[in-house]
């Protein structure tokens, strides 16, 4: 904790000295001063934000410290502020952003600033780069309008299949087609760990398409049900017709039988002879 505070305070006094020299060289009311560098009021505000960042970092309120250092750098343009910003980013676990900030320092700082702080900054950068995790993302069946997101960031198509540096910790890869998530995976990576994610962007249809298909299926089912009811009704009607015809045929047959029986002559009386008692009934 003491080492953190000491490092930041040293940079703070360095910034203040530079800021004071810069403001002393600027004419108070010269319009061209704003074009050649920050105004005195901007320097004063940058100095105050820098001190706020130092206090927040000492209290381990790294998000507040980051915001203060970012605003201070935007106002003053003093590259030494980037070293403090990189430090609090690393302390809060944002290693990728910290590495990028150190590289910005080396790309923008003048020779004098790099001579004073370059050795420590370079050592910190090397250590951070060794701690980075990495992730390779491969997506199959990707459409032109699909978006691949790694946490809150969009991954460019050119970055797919390549090893991307990431912070250690939990990460989510999401393939989105409009408002629909086609494929999604969450994984956790340790420091220096390399991970691979392979996803298939075979996306389900959007909700409006699902609703349209469901409505069409419901209508088709209703048509089938109406057709089945009609066929059943016709079959029932034909059955009753044949029952009626059968009943009519049976009734007609009964009448015919009765007529036949009624139309037959009386039976032949028995023949009586002298062959003894009894009778013979002729057919």
Rounded average pLDDT per 10-residue block, the chain, 283 residues: 50 50 36 61 94 95 96 94 96 96 96 94 96 96 93 93 96 93 95 96 75 85 87 78 58 55 56 54 53
The third-level CATH classification (topology) of the domain covering 133-200 is Immunoglobulin-like (2.60.40)
HSE-CB at 213 with a 13 A cutoff on CA atoms is 7
pLDDT at 28: 34
Where do the domains of the chain lie? 2-131, 133-200, 206-283
Stated length of the chain: 283
Kindly give the pairing relationship between strand 194-200 and strand 133-140.
parallel
pLDDT at 250: 57
Q: What is the distance between the alpha carbons of residues 122 and 107, in angstroms, rounded to a whole number?
A: 12
What the block records as the tokens of 78 is 């003093």
pLDDT at 246: 60
What the block records as the tokens of 224 is 């089938």
pLDDT at 179: 85
Select the CATH number that applies to the domain covering 2-131 from these four: 1.10.890, 1.10.3470, 3.40.30, 1.25.40: 1.25.40
Q: Which residues contact 93 (CB under 8 A, 6 or more apart)?
A: 167, 168, 169
Q: What is the distance between the alpha carbons of residues 60 and 77, in angstroms, rounded to a whole number?
A: 25
CA 219 to chain centre: 32
């Amino acid at each position: 904790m003491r080492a953190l505070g000491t490092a930041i305070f040293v940079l703070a006094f360095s910034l203040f000295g530079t800021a004071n020299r810069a403001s002393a060289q600027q004419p108070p009311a010269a319009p061209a001063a704003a074009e050649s560098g920050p105004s005195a009021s901007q320097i004063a505000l940058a100095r105050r934000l820098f001190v706020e960042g130092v206090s927040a970092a000492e209290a381990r309120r790294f998000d507040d410290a980051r915001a203060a250092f970012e605003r201070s750098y935007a106002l003053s343009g003093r590259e030494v502020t980037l070293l403090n910003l990189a430090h609090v980013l690393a302390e809060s676990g944002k290693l990728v952003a910290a590495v990028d900030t150190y590289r910005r320092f080396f790309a923008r700082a003048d020779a004098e600033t790099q001579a004073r702080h370059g050795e420590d900054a370079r050592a910190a950068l090397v250590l951070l780069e060794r701690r980075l995790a990495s992730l390779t993302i491969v997506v199959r069946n990707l459409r032109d309008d699909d978006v691949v997101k790694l946490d809150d960031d969009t991954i460019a198509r050119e970055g797919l299949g390549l090893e991307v540096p990431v912070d250690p910790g939990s990460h989510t890869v999401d393939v989105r087609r409009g408002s629909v998530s086609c494929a999604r995976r969450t994984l956790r990576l340790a420091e220096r760990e390399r991970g691979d994610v392979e996803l298939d962007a075979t996306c389900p249809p959007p909700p409006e398409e699902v609703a349209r298909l469901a409505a069409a299926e419901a209508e088709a089912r209703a048509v089938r049900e109406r057709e089945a009811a009609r066929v059943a009704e016709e079959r029932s009607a034909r059955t009753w017709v044949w029952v009626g015809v059968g009943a009519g045929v049976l009734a007609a047959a009964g009448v015919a039988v009765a007529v036949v029986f009624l139309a037959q002559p009386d039976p032949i009386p028995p023949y009586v002879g002298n062959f003894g008692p009894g009778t013979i009934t002729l057919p």
